[in-house]
């Protein structure tokens, strides 16, 4: 990725689903005007999901996800279908591609070489996607190969089948009506591709890209002080993405932006001729910044901003409240008192011991999920700092499991946990995090994230502003 490129996590994720040979890869090539995806008449050409980032006029930065056919067979085929199904979790908008030359069961028709199996599958997938509240556009491909009467028959069959209507398109009514009809296209001649592009623009969910990170927290003329992280996870020579995005948005809003590190915080305050309107801090020095900040200055953290942009801030704060309930306020206060010590290497085992309360449940099982797949660092938040804080709160009653990247337990496996703590997910798109939140809710397990947990553990969650 070049320095000026939109990161993948900030792009609308458009998943293409359909049977093998329906023309999914050809359609991506037609939409992008480039030969990006491998096309062949051998069914099963696309094996693993393939991501293609591009600027799609008039939508903006998108990433197309080309998938293996959902009718794939055999042991390997089933594994490929599983991979395709996993893509649903991160799909903001789905295109279901139907092969117009093998569309719908019509036993008498010569249009039906595939005996209707794929039509049922198409409907199943459309329904599955719609159940997940994902807007679906249905496309009838290979239109160029059909005669006029065949076109009418295929269109009728598709309209008649409930699976062919994209009823959950959330845009304006006219756009909805337009999008609810299957769109005939030819990936080979380009017919219908412009109409498909427009349908995509109409169907993109409004909250797929919560461009505004700051909500109502900052306005024109405000003075914002940013307290940047200084830990070893910061990449050498650059800033991490949430900070870059925050600075950009503050500048777009005509704010004055001043940056400091934690150890320069007091010096930065002294250097200003007035109190800042807003301080955005690295969550790891929350406590110190809260203590020292001017009374009238609003305080929030990068992680809280990201949690709101990349998930559901209210669910996350409820998740923190669930720890409160499990731990009791006495533990919370203990954690707050020892928050400064949380960064030091020594665990106060006396405090941990005294935190054990026979009235509390035996074990508190916590899943810590990290989006990044980087090798854990010495002072890693997910594997060192948060476990240390949990030990302070729950003593040896806490059981912690760490997962990374795409390894996230199924709903039934999630039931094994009392709490999920997710990272800020700067590498994921919002839909991906929302899918995990939905799984957690289905399993009945509270979910929170790093920033909200740290704010809670430091006892100041109720003292920060939420976007
Ligand atoms: N005539 C015609 N042929 C098409 C069209 N779209 C795709 N094809 C052909 O159909 C075959 C399959 O196309 P692909 O794009 O590889 O299909 P796919 O859905 O990606 O297939 P898998 O990767 O195997 O799942 C190729 O031979 C394409 O040239 C179309 O609109 N018209
Ligand atoms: Mg393909």
What pLDDT digit, counting tens, does each position of 202-218 carry? Answer: 888 766 655 567 888 99
Which of 39, 70, 73 for mutating ligand 1's site (highest number of atoms within 8 Å of CB)?
39
Q: What is the mean pLDDT of the chain?
A: 82
185: CA distance to ligand 2 center in Å? 17
Q: Which atom of ligand 1 is nearest to the CA of 189?
A: 31
Distance CA 92, CA 207 (A): 9
- Give the Å distance between the CA of 435 and the centre of ligand 2: 25
Q: Check pocket membership of 397 for ligand 1, CB cut-off 6 A.
A: no
* Per-residue pLDDT, 337: 52
Read off the pLDDT of residues 284-326 as tens digits, 9 standing for 90 and up: 788 899 999 999 999 998 888 888 888 888 899 999 998 888 8
**pLDDT for residue 105:** 40
Per-residue pLDDT at 118 exceeds 70: no
Say if CB 199 and CB 178 are below 8 A apart.
yes
Q: Is the CB of 90 under 6 A from ligand 1?
A: no
Task: Please indicate whether residue 141 or residue 329 has the higher confidence score (pLDDT).
Answer: 141
Does 335 have pLDDT greater than 70? no
Token pair listed for 308: 């709101």
**Higher-confidence residue: 59 or 129?**
129
Structural domains in the chain plus CATH codes: 8-208 (3.40.50.300), 223-307 (3.40.50.11420), 312-463 (3.40.50.11410)
> Could you say which ligand is closest to the alpha carbon of residue 80?
1
Of 151, 168, 67, the closest CA to residue 104 belongs to 151
> Which residues face 312 on adjacent strands?
none
Question: Is there an atom of ligand 1 within 6 Å of 192 CB?
Answer: no
Q: Is the dihedral of CA 317, 322, 328, 334 positive or negative?
A: negative
Ligand nearest to the CA of 39: 1
Q: Is the dihedral of CA 392, 302, 318, 293 positive or negative?
A: positive
Nearest CA to ligand 1 atom 11: 41
CA distance 222 to 215: 14
DSSP calls for 378-447 = TT-IIIIIHHHHHHHHHGGGEEEEEEETT----HHHHTT-SEEEE---TTS-HHHHHHHHHHHHHHT--E
Q: Does ligand 1 lie within 6 Å of residue 118's CB atom?
A: no
CA of 45, nearest ligand number: 1
Do residues 179 and 190 touch, judged by C-beta distance below 8 A?
no
Indicate whether residue 30 lines ligand 1 (CB < 6 A).
no
What per-residue confidence (pLDDT) applies to 176?
Answer: 43
Contact 98, 117 (CB under 8 A): no
Q: Quickly state the pLDDT bin for 114 (edges 50, 70, 90).
A: very low
Name 60's bridge partners.
56
332: alpha, beta or left, given left = phi > 0 and alpha = psi -120 to 50? Answer: alpha
Which ligand places an atom closest to the C-alpha of 28? 1
Rg over alpha carbons for the chain, rounded to the nearest Å, is 25
Q: What pLDDT is recorded for position 426? A: 75
Helix axes 450-457, 386-394, angle to 10 degrees: 40
DSSP 374: P
Is the separation of the CB atoms in 352 and 416 below 8 Å? no
> Can you give the pLDDT at residue 170?
37
Counting from 1 in the atom list of ligand 1, the atom nearest the Cα of 44 is 24
pLDDT tops 80 at residue 361: no
Cβ–Cβ contacts within 10 Å for residue 345, how many?
9
CA–CA dist 118, 103 (Å, integer) = 7
Closest ligand 1 atom to residue 46 Cα is 23
pLDDT in tens, 264-283: 999 999 999 999 999 999 87
CB under 8 Å to 258, separation ≥6 — which residues?
223, 224, 225, 226, 268, 272, 276
- Which pTM value belongs to this model? 0.71
pLDDT at 39 over 50: yes
Q: In whole angstroms, give the CA distance from residue 40 to residue 92.
A: 27
DSSP 8-state secondary structure symbol assigned to residue 104:
S
Task: Find out whether the beta carbon of 41 lies less than 6 Å from any atom of ligand 1.
Answer: yes
Ligand 1: residue whose CA is nearest its atom 16: 39
**Mean pLDDT of the region 349-361:** 45
Q: Which residue has the higher pLDDT, 355 or 428?
A: 428
> What pLDDT sits at residue 5?
64
- For ligand 1, whether the C-beta of 18 sits within 6 Å is yes
173-182: which pairs have CB atoms within 8 A and are 24 or more residues apart?
Answer: 175/202, 175/203, 176/202, 178/202, 179/135, 179/137, 179/203, 182/98, 182/138, 182/139, 182/140, 182/155, 182/158
Check residues 445 and 170 and name the one with the higher pLDDT.
445
pLDDT at 175 over 70: no
Q: What percent of the chain has pLDDT over 70?
A: 79
Report whether pLDDT(347) > 60: no
pLDDT value of residue 280: 95
- Ligand 2 centroid from CA 171, angstroms: 29
Residue for token digits 């600075």?
A: 247
The per-residue pLDDT for 103 is 54
- From ligand 1's centre to the CA of 150, what distance in Å? 19
Is the CB of residue 32 less than 8 Å from the CB of residue 54? yes
141 CB within 6 A, ligand 1: yes
Q: How confident is the model at residue 91 (pLDDT cuts 50, 70, 90)?
A: very high
pLDDT band at 396 (very low <50, low <70, confident <90, very high): confident
Long-range contacts of 261-265 (CB under 8 A, 24+ apart): 261/227, 261/228, 261/229, 261/230, 262/227, 262/229, 262/230, 262/288, 262/289, 263/230, 265/227, 265/289, 265/292
Q: Which two tokens stand for residue 368?
A: 């810590």
Any atom of ligand 1 within 6 Å of the Cβ of 84: no
**What is the reported pLDDT for 109?**
39
Q: Which residues pair with 364 in a beta bridge?
A: 398
25 lines ligand 1 (CB under 6 A): yes
Look at residue 336 in the predicted model and tell me its pLDDT.
Answer: 55
Write the residue with the smallest CA distance to atom 32 of ligand 1: 142
CA of 20 to the centre of ligand 1 (A): 8
Distance CA 192, CA 186 (A): 7
Reduce the DSSP state of residue 362 to 3 states and report it: coil
SS (H, E, C) 63-100: EEEECCCCCCCHHHHHHHHHHHHHHHHHCCEEEEEEEC
Contacts of residue 290, Cβ cutoff 8 Å, sequence gap at least 6: 299, 458, 460, 463
- The answer to whether the CB of 81 is under 6 A from ligand 1 is no
Beta strands in 109-189 (DSSP E): 136-141, 183-184
């Amino acid at each position: 990725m070049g320095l000026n490129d939109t990161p993948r996590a900030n792009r609308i994720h458009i998943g293409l689903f359909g049977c093998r040979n329906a023309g999914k890869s050809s359609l991506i090539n037609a939409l992008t005007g480039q030969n990006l995806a491998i096309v062949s008449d051998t069914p099963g050409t696309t094996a693993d999901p393939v991501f293609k980032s591009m600027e799609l006029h008039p939508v903006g930065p998108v990433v197309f996800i080309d998938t293996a056919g959902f009718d794939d067979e055999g042991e390997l085929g089933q594994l490929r279908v599983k991979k395709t199904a996993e893509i649903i979790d991160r799909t903001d908008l789905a295109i279901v591609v139907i092969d117009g030359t093998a569309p719908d069961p019509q036993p008498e028709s010569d249009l039906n070489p595939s005996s209707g199996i794929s039509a049922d599958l198409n409907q199943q997938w459309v329904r599955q996607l719609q159940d997940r509240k994902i807007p679906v556009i249905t496309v009838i491909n290979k239109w160029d190969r059909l005669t006029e009467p065949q076109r009418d028959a295929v269109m009728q069959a598709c309209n008649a089948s409930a699976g062919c209507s994209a009823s959950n398109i959330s845009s304006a009514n006219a756009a909805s009506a337009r999008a609810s009809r299957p769109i005939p296209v030819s990936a080979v001649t380009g017919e219908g591709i412009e109409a498909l592009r427009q349908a995509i623009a109409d169907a993109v969910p409004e909250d797929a890209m919560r461009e505004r990170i700051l909500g109502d927290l900052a306005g024109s003329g405000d003075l914002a002080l940013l307290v940047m992280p200084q830990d070893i996870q910061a990449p050498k020579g650059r800033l991490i993405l949430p900070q870059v995005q925050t600075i950009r948005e503050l500048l777009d809003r005509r704010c004055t932006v001043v940056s400091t590190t934690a150890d320069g915080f007091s010096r930065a305050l002294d250097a200003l001729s007035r109190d800042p309107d807003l301080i955005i801090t690295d969550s790891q020095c929350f406590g110190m910044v809260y203590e020292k900040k001017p009374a009238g200055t609003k305080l929030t953290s990068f992680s809280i901003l990201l949690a709101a942009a990349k998930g559901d801030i209210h669910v996350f704060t409820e998740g923190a409240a669930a720890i409160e309930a499990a731990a009791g306020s006495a533990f919370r206060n203990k954690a707050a008192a020892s928050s400064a010590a949380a960064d030091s290497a020594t665990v106060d085992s006396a405090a941990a011991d005294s935190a054990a309360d026979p009235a509390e449940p035996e074990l508190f099982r916590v899943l810590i999920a990290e989006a990044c797949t980087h090798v854990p660092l010495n002072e890693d938040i997910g594997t060192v700092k948060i476990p240390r804080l949990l030990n302070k709160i729950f003593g040896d009653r806490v059981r912690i499991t760490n997962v990374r990247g795409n390894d996230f337990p199924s709903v039934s496996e999630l039931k094994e946990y009392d709490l999920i703590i997710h990272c800020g997910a700067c590498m994921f798109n919002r839909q991906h995090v929302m899918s995990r939140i939905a799984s957690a809710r289905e399993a009945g397990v509270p979910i929170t994230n790093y920033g909200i947990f740290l704010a809670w553990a430091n006892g100041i969650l109720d003292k920060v502003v939420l976007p």
